[in-house]
Each structure stands twice: as structure tokens, then as C-alpha cells.
Amino acid sequence: MKKWTALIILIVLCFSLTGCWNYREIESFSIVAGIAVERDPKNGDIILCIEIIEASGSTQEQNMESKIVVSRGQTVFDAVRSAIDTSGKRLFWSHAQIVIFSEEIAREGILELLDWFYRNAEPRLTLRLLVAHNVSAKDVLTSTGITNKIRSYEIDKMLENADNIEKYPRVDLYQAVQMLRSQKPYAYLPCITTKKQDEITVPKICGTAVFKGDQLAGFLDEEDTKYFLFVIDEIQGGLVVKKNVQDEPGTSVSLEIFDSATKVVPVISDGKISIHIQIKTDVAIAEIGPYLSVANKPSITAIKTDMQVFLNQNILRVIHKAQSEFDTDIFGFGQLVYQEMPSVWKQYKENWDAEFKNLTFQVTSEIMVRNTAESIKTLGEADNAG
């Protein structure tokens, strides 16, 4: 009898405990896709431009559209709550994909603005961060999508394809916080602008925003970004293109990257730190211009050697640019010294900015040619048969 009583109680309890403890009707929320953050220059208010997803059409054939809600407040959270006045609903953040900071607000500093996104339970730590360049953050979010009516999701898809292009980095919220919490805070984010295409304005990701601490220090264009990504070991694909190969005017080579690995080693000698950078890149010769041949091993070796020198020179050029123009260690060399040589780091920690400007570098690139595509001849070579 006692067993049957216990079983009945157990069954009743199972039914009473089913369901989600914090269940909320989705119709009572506005689903956020992305957000642009700006500041009112007159009173210092935070202005949020929020893209909200809306479903239209019948139950069987629903279309996903978006609308823009603009709110303001003294802080990010204050502006988020103020959005209820416009949308009529609380915001649901779990589907948000991107946050775009205006160039002006990035120059002031982004750490304080990241706090709410990082601290709140709803926004994901994989939120993608960007900086608007030569355009307002709001204009980016209100531009026209080509492949997706929801601009935030289209921009997120562009960032997903970064590995195939290698002209801009891809940085999530948690990664930005890690950089800003390092021994010598630094950061880099992709920058975004707009461009005209077929009489409409569309978003375009356009390189890298460079930060000294949490404040914007400048920009790297798409070409410089490629070599920056080589240094920080974030190259997974893309192209390396060189004209005037082996000093031959009018020639060109396009190498398709299949894989790349970078090893960075800090070395101390006579009380001075130098950084050794070793790069191994697996490529195919995807395109060659006229007058070049890859018909034999010596010709391939000559092209490979020329491209290795070209890669080394461009990497050093971008490093020197960071040293002279930005005065910020965006490569994280200081963090590497701290991890691998903690006793040395104690000596240089307080004056690392000055030390970074005087660092010397040794760059060694090894390019391995996997194949030369379908043909060993250029279109400019004549067939000798017949």
C-alpha cells in the first residue's frame, strides 16, 4: 500500500513540475537583430538605433522584415529600457548578431559601453562588434540589404565569410573583452562603411579599426589588414597578389591560400627584446600574368622566393605602421612576453608602449606551392606542338 501511495505522489509531482520556469510569450517581446551605438554631441546621451525583426504574411508563408527603433538614455541600459516607449514591447536580445559603434564613440572609448552587453544574461558573448568608418553607425544599419532584408544578419554573414576574403578580422564580444583585459590593453575590430551599388546604398566591411587601450587610434585598410592577420595567425584562406613579379613589368601572380600558420617567439638578448615571426603558408598558383612560366621547378622556385620576400616586406611594413602611426601593440606581443617570460615582463610592463616602438623584428616566410591549377602555361605562351 505504501509503495502505491508513493508512486501516485511521484506521478502527481512530475506533472506539477513540467514546463519552463521562466516561460515568456514571444509575442510580448521585440526580437533584436542588431544595434548601432552613437552619442548625442549636444547633451552626451547614448543613442541606440535598434533593428527589430517582424514577421508578416500568413502562418504558412511568413516573411521576415525589419524596422528600426531609435531610443536614447544616459547609459546603454537606460536607452535599452527607453526603447519600450517606441516599440511598445521589451527587447529580446538572444538573437542579436552585431553591435556597430560610431567612429566618434569609439574614439572616446568602448569599454564602458561593452559592460551592459557583457554583463546582461540575454545578449550572447558571440555578438560581433564593428566600428563605422566615414559614415554614421545608424546609416550602416539603415542601408539596403542585398541578400537579406534584415541588415544585421546580412552583415553577420559577411563576417562569417571573413576566412575566404582575409580583408577584415572577425571579433566577438568575449574576444574584445579578453584583449581589453590583457596585461597591456589593446583591441582591434572590423570597420564598416556603405557604398553605392546599382543606385542603392549597401553595407561594406572595409578593414580594421585599431585601438590603443579601448580608444580608437586609427584604421588599417583592407590590404594592410591581410598582413596584420598573418601576424596574429588568423589567415585561413584568401589571396596574396603581387604585380611586377621578379621585377618584370606587367607580370602578376595570384596565390590562393589553403592554410597558414604563424609562430611568434619573443627573444631577449643583451637586455633588448626582439620578436621572431615564422610563417608557413600552403598555396596554389591560381593565376599568373603574361610572360611568366611555371612549366618547371626552377621557375616555380623563383616565383615562390619572390613572393616570400614580398610577404616579409609587407608584414614588416604593417608592424612599423603600428609602431609609428598608432603607437599601440595591436598584435598582443606584450601579452606574449608576459606569458612566456614573466620575469622579463615585470621589467618592461610599465614602459611597454615605449618598448614596443623600439622592438626589432625578424620575419621568415615559407611558401609551399601545392599545385599550379589546371595548366602550367599562361595564356600568353604559345603551343609548340605541331
Q: How far apart are the first and last CA of the chain?
A: 102
Q: Are 215 and 207 in contact (CB under 8 A)?
A: no
Q: Is the pLDDT of residue 154 over 70?
A: yes
3-state DSSP helix/strand/coil percent for the chain, to nearest 5?
A: 35, 35, 30
**Residue 272 vs residue 11, higher pLDDT:** 272
Distance CA 219, CA 285 (A): 30
**Residue 380 vs residue 361, higher pLDDT:** 361
Distance CA 266, CA 134 (A): 37
Q: Which three cell numbers stand for residue 161?
A: 565569410
Query: Which range is least confidently modeled, 9-13, 141-145, 173-177?
Result: 9-13
Confidence of residue 386 (pLDDT cuts 50, 70, 90): very low
Residue 91: how many other CB atoms lie within 10 Å: 21
- Check residue 17 and give its pLDDT: 56
Strand, coil or helix: what is 270? coil
Residue 97 φ then ψ, to 5°: -110, -35
- Check residue 145 and give its pLDDT: 78
Pairing label, strands 98-101, 128-132: parallel
Structure confidence by residue, pLDDT tens digits, 14-33:
555 555 544 455 556 789 99
Confidence of residue 385 (pLDDT cuts 50, 70, 90): very low
Distance CA 274, CA 267 (A): 5
Q: What is the mean pLDDT of the chain?
A: 88
Structure confidence by residue, pLDDT tens digits, 271-304:
899 999 999 999 998 888 777 777 667 788 888 9
Structure confidence by residue, pLDDT tens digits, 206-234:
999 999 999 999 999 999 999 999 999 99
- Check residue 374 and give its pLDDT: 45
Structure confidence by residue, pLDDT tens digits, 40-81:
999 999 999 999 997 665 555 567 788 999 999 999 999 999
Distance CA 236, CA 162 (A): 9
Q: Are 152 and 97 in contact (CB under 8 A)?
A: yes
Amino acid at 52: I
- Check residue 381 and give its pLDDT: 56
Distance CA 10, CA 291 (A): 84
Q: With residue 227 as reference, give the H or E element that holds it.
A: helix 222-231
- Check residue 165 and give its pLDDT: 83
Residue 248: how many other CB atoms lie within 10 Å: 14
Counting residues of the chain whose pLDDT is more than 70, the rounded percentage is 85
- What one-character-per-residue DSSP string does 20-83 give? -TT---GGGEEEEEEEEEEE-TTT--EEEEEEEEEEEE-SSSEEEEEEEEEEEESSHHHHHHHH
pTM of the predicted protein model: 0.87
- Check residue 320 and give its pLDDT: 96
Q: Are 304 and 263 in contact (CB under 8 A)?
A: no
- Check residue 295 and give its pLDDT: 64
Q: Is the pLDDT of residue 95 over 60?
A: yes
Distance CA 283, CA 238 (A): 10
Using the structure block, give the residue that is written with the C-alpha cell 551599388: 197
